[in-house]
A and B are shown apart, each in its own frame.
Chain A
Amino acid sequence: MVYGWAGTILRIDLSRGKVSKTPSSEYTRLFIGGRGINSKLMFDESKPGVSAFDPENPIILGAGALAGTGILGMTKHTITTRSPEQVPEGFAMQCSGGSLAAEMKYAGYDHIVIKGRAEKPTYIHVENNDTAFKDASGLWGKGTFDTNTILREELNDPEVKILAIGQAGENLVRFATIEHEYRSGTGLGGVFGAKNLKAIAVRGTRGIKVHDPETVLSINERMLETHKKNVEELVREAREQGKPEPSRYDKGFGTIGAKAKDYFFDDTEQGVVGYLEGFEWNDVDKTRGVDWLETRSYRDTGCCPFACAGLVSVPGVGIDVMRCYPFWNLWQLKMTDIDKMFEATMLMSDYGIDNRNLSMTVSYLMKLYEMGIITAKDTDGVPMDWGSGDALIETVHKVANRKGFGDVLADGPLKLAEKLGPKAKKLFMHSRGQIAHGDERRSQVGYALAEAVDTHRGTESPFHGPYQIWERYMKRSGQEKEMKEAYERAKKTFGTKKAIIPWEWESKPIMVMNAQHGWVLNDILGACLLALDHFMDEKSVKKQLGTLPPTVEPLILSSFNAITGLNVDEKYLIVCAERTWNVERAYNVREGFTRDDDTIAEGWHEWPITSGPHKGRVVDKAKLEKAKSELYKLRGWDTKTGWPTKETYERLGLNDVEKELRRLGRLL
C-alpha cells in the first residue's frame, strides 16, 4: 500500500497526441516529490542546448508530496522547464499555491510531463484515468479570466482546476506567465504558447491514502492553536506599544502584501523607491495597503484556511485577487493610486504577464525618461512620468499584443535596453537578462549571495530574512532585551553577533545554504512558506533569532511520517533537498554555466542607496566573490568552475548525473 503519493507520472506527447504512464516510485526515494522529482525529470528528459521554445523542451508539473493529504497549508505545485526569460536560457521553476496540486493527486498523478507541440491550439483535459486533447481554437486570443470561465462551462464542471496562459503566452512574450487561481510566477507562459497549449484542466475524484489520519488531524489542531496564539500575541504587542487594535488585515487576512509598507518602511527599513534608488519618499504612507483594504476588501479566498489571497472589489474596475507584489510596485513606480495599480495587476493576470518583471521595467523606463535619455517618442508617445498608472497600463497592452515598442520589450527587457542605446543599456540592471527587482540587496548581503548562487532566476531567492536582526526597529519597539539575547545566541552559534546583522558578510554562506535547503524542501513537500509562518510554533522569530534556521519544522517531519507511514529523520529530508539543488545546478552546468554566471545585477555593486538609514551602502563585489567561494566549499563544489565535484555527486547518489556530465566534459 502506498500512502501519501498518487503513484503515477503522466507523460503527454502533444506532437503525437499520445499519453503514457510510469510509476513515480522510481523517483520518490531520492527526490520525494514536487520540485525534487520535477528537477530530476527535467535533467533526465531534456537534451542540452534545446531552447525554451523548442517542442522538445519539456514542461513538468509536480504536486507537492504532502498536497492533497489534509495537512494544513500543503497546497503547492511546481512547474519546471527551461526559462525563456533568462539570457542565456537556463533552469527555471515556479512554485505556486492553489488547488491544482491536490487535484492532480486525486486524479492519480504526482507529476505530469508535457512534451512536443500540438498542430493547432489545444487544451488538455485530464480526468482521472482519461486524458483528452481538445481544440482550443475558440480560446486562442482570449485572456485567462475568460479561458477559465469558458473551460468550466464547456467541461460542465466548476470543480476543474486550470492552468492557463493569456494572450502574452500565445504571443511568446518572454516573461509571460502560466496563471492559476491566485498566483503565477516566473515567466514560463511562452513555453505553453510555443507548444500551442492554451491550458490544462485537471479533475480527480479519487483519494489519497493516509497512513495515520488521527495524527494528521491532531497535527492540524496544533497548528490552528498556534495560529490563534500568534494572533493573540500580535494584539497584546500592539496594546503594549500603544498602537491601535490590529485590524483583520493587520493580522494577515485579506492580502498579506498589504502589510508590505509597514514591514519594509516602518520596521526593517529596507524598502526601495523608484528605480532601485533610495528609501525616502514623502508619499510612502499612501501606499499602506492595510488602509486601502478597509474599503476595497470584498471577500477572503485562498488555498488553505489561512486565506491569504484577498478578493478585492474596485468600482469601475472589477473583482479579482489582489496579489502581493503590486504593493512593492507602487514604490518602484512612485505610484500612490492603489486602485490604478489594481487595475494594471488585473490586466496582467488576464494577459498572463509577470507583473514583477514588467513593473520594474516600466520603472526603468521612467528613470530613463526623467534623465532625458529617452523621450515619449521611444515609447510610442506614452510619457513615462513617475507615478503614472496609465504608462504602466499602456505598456501592458503593448507588450501582450506585441504592438510598437511592446514588440521589442516582449522579447525581454534586455532587448529593449539594447535598442534604446548604450546610455540606456548602461542603466539596465539585470542578472542573466532578468531585470533586478525591488527587494533591497545592498542592505541585505545575504539576499545578494542567495540570488547570485540561485539555480534559477525570476522568483525570490531563498534566504531567511527574519533570522536577521533590524537593530533600529528592535530598539524603537522596545525589544532591546530580545535583541541582546539574539546577539548572545548568535555569538554561540556563529562565533560572532555580526552573523545576524543584515549588511555584514559574516556567516552568510552557511545561512544561505540552510535557507536554500529549507525552501527546496518546502517546494518538494508542497508546503506554503506563509502558512508555515502562521501555523508553526517553531517558526517564532524571536525564538529563532541568532540561531541557524531550522531546515525542517518538527511538525512537518511528523506530518511526513504520519502520512507516508515511513519513519524518516530530518537528515533524510535535508539530503533530498540538497540532492535536488545539485541536480538543478547540474542542469545549468550541462548547459555550460560556470561560476562566472553566479552574479547579481551590476547596479547593486555600483549604485549606492541614495537616502534613508542605509544611505551609501553597496554590495561589495570582492566580498561577494569570497562568500561564493565559501559557499561552494560548503556544498562540495569546485571553487574555480562552480561545478559540483565527482565526490559530491557520488555522496548524493547522483551517479547517473555524474556519468552524463563526465561524458560531456563538464566534470573535474
Chain B
Amino acid sequence: MNKLIMIDPDKCTGCGQCEMSCSLEHEGECNPTLSRIKIAKGTSVFISVPVTCLQCGTALCMEVCPVNAISRDSKTGAYIVDAERCVGCRLCEMACPLGAIEIRPDKHVAMKCDLCDGEPMCVKFCLPGALTYVLEEKIGFVRRREAIKKLSRSLEKITLESAR
C-alpha cells in the first residue's frame, strides 16, 4: 500500500515553504518556479491551496505520453518522468486535470512530484499541517476524523455540562 500527499486547503497559510523546500531538494536552489508543488492563489492574498500530483489511479500523463517517458516507481508508487526520454511535447501538461505536471521553462522537459523517494520535503516542512503523507487507504478515515473534530468537541462540552 502506497502513501500519498494529502492536502488540507483549510490549513494552508500560503507561506510557500513547501515550494522552497521542494526546489532546494530537487534543484539545489530556492526557486518556486521549479517546485513540483505549487500554491495556487486567489485574487485575495488570503486564499491559498497547494497543488501537486496526487498520483492518480489512471495517470493520464502516463497514458498520453508518446515516448513512454513516464513510469511508476515500484517503491513509492509515484509517477516518475524520465528526463532523458521526455521530448517536451506538453501532452501530459494538457492531460493532467490538476496542472500538477508541467514543462519546466529552463530545460523543456516535464517535471512533477516524485514523492522524494518516500520522504516528501514539502510535507516535512509544512508546520501548519496542510500537507500530510498518509497511507492511501487511510485518507478517507483521516478526512472524516478531521471533519467531525469540531462536532465531537461540541458534543463533549454539552455532555460535560449536562453531567454537571
Question: Does the CB pair A207–B15 fall under 8 Å?
Answer: no
> How near does chain B come to A9, taking the closest CB pair, in angstroms?
20
CA distance A551 to B9 in the complex (A): 38
Q: Which residue of A lies closest to B127 (CB)?
A: A305
Contact of B24 among A102, A159, A205, A216 (CB under 8 A): A216
Report the separation of the CA atoms of residues A102 and B39 in the bound assembly, to the nearest whole angstrom.
15
**Quick check: is A301 within 8 A (CB to CB) of the other chain?**
yes
B127 contacts A227, C-beta separation under 8 Å: yes
- Taking a contact as CB atoms under 8 Å apart, the answer to whether B33 and A299 are in contact is no
Contacting residues of chain B (29-44) with chain A, CB-CB under 8 angstroms: 29-34, 40-44
**By the criterion CB–CB under 8 Å, are A159 and B41 in contact?**
yes
Q: State whether A208 touches B30 (Cβ < 8 A).
A: yes
Chain B, residue nearest A151 (CB): B43
- The segment from A65-73, A267-275, A638-646 that touches chain B is A65-73
The reply to whether A307 and B128 form a contact with Cβ atoms under 8 Å apart is: yes
Distance between A246 CB and nearest chain B CB, rounded to angstroms = 16
Determine the chain B residues whose CB is within 8 A of the CB of A69 once the complex forms.
20, 30
Q: Which chain A residues (54-105) contact chain B, with CB distance < 8 Å? A: 68-70, 72, 99, 102
Instruction: Knowing A300-B128, A301-B13 are in contact, say whether A205-B33 is a contact too (CB < 8 A).
Output: yes
Let me know if B27 is at the binding interface, CB within 8 A. yes
Which secondary structure dominates chain B's binding surface? Answer: mixed
Residues from chain B with a CB closer than 8 A to the CB of A514 are: none
Cβ–Cβ contact B10 & A299, under 8 A? yes
In the complex, A322 Cα to B127 Cα: how many Å? 21
A224/B127 contact (C-beta < 8 A), A69-B30, A152-B43, A305-B13 known: yes
In the assembled complex, the Cα of A221 lies from the Cα of B40 at a distance in Å of 25
Complex CA distance for A490 and B126, rounded to whole angstroms:
39
Which residue of chain B is the closest to A105 with respect to CB atoms?
Answer: B30
CB pair A106–B25 under 8 Å, yes or no, is no
Chain B residue contacts of A299, Cβ below 8 A? 10, 13, 46
Nearest-neighbour CB distance to chain B for A556, whole angstroms, equals 17
The reply to whether A220 and B125 contact each other, CB–CB distance below 8 Å, is yes
Assembled-state Cα–Cα distance A216/B44 (Å): 31
User: What 0/1 readout, one digit per residue, does chain B (8-26) give for beta carbons within 8 Å of chain A?
Assistant: 0011011111001101110
Residues of the B chain whose Cβ atoms lie less than 8 Å from the Cβ of A148: 45
Within the complex, the shortest CB–CB distance from B136 to chain A, in Å, comes to 26
CA distance A243 to B64 in the complex (A): 60
Interface centre among A205, A208, A217, A299 (most CB of B within 10 A): A299
B140 within 8 A of A: no
Judge if B143 is at the interface, Cβ distance under 8 Å: no
- A302: which B residues are within 8 A, CB to CB? 13, 15
Q: Shortest Cβ distance from A82 into chain B, in angstroms?
A: 29
User: What distance in Å separates the Cβ of B133 from its nearest Cβ neighbour in chain A?
Assistant: 15
| B138 at the binding interface (Cβ < 8 Å) | no
Task: Give the residues in chain B near A224, CB-CB below 8 Å.
Answer: 124-125, 127
The reply on B115 being an interface residue by CB < 8 A is: no
* B30 x A210 contact (CB < 8 A): yes
Across-interface contacts of B45 in A (CB, < 8 A): 148, 181
- Is there contact, CB below 8 Å, between A70 and B30? yes
Contact B121–A213 (Cβ < 8 Å):
no
Interface presence of A542 (CB below 8 A): no
Cβ B24 vs Cβ A149 within 8 A: no
**A305 and B125 within 8 A (CB):** yes
Contact flag A301-B46 (CB < 8 Å), given A70-B24, A206-B33, A213-B28: yes
Residue ranges of B at the interface with A (Cβ–Cβ < 8 Å): 10-11, 13-17, 20-21, 23-25, 27-34, 40-46, 48, 105, 121, 124-128
Known contacts A206-B33, A216-B24, A301-B46; can you find 5 more A-B pairs with CB under 8 A? A69-B30, A210-B30, A213-B25, A224-B125, A321-B46
Between-chain CB contacts (< 8 Å), 11 pairs: A69-B30, A70-B24, A148-B45, A149-B43, A158-B41, A205-B33, A209-B28, A299-B13, A302-B15, A305-B13, A305-B127
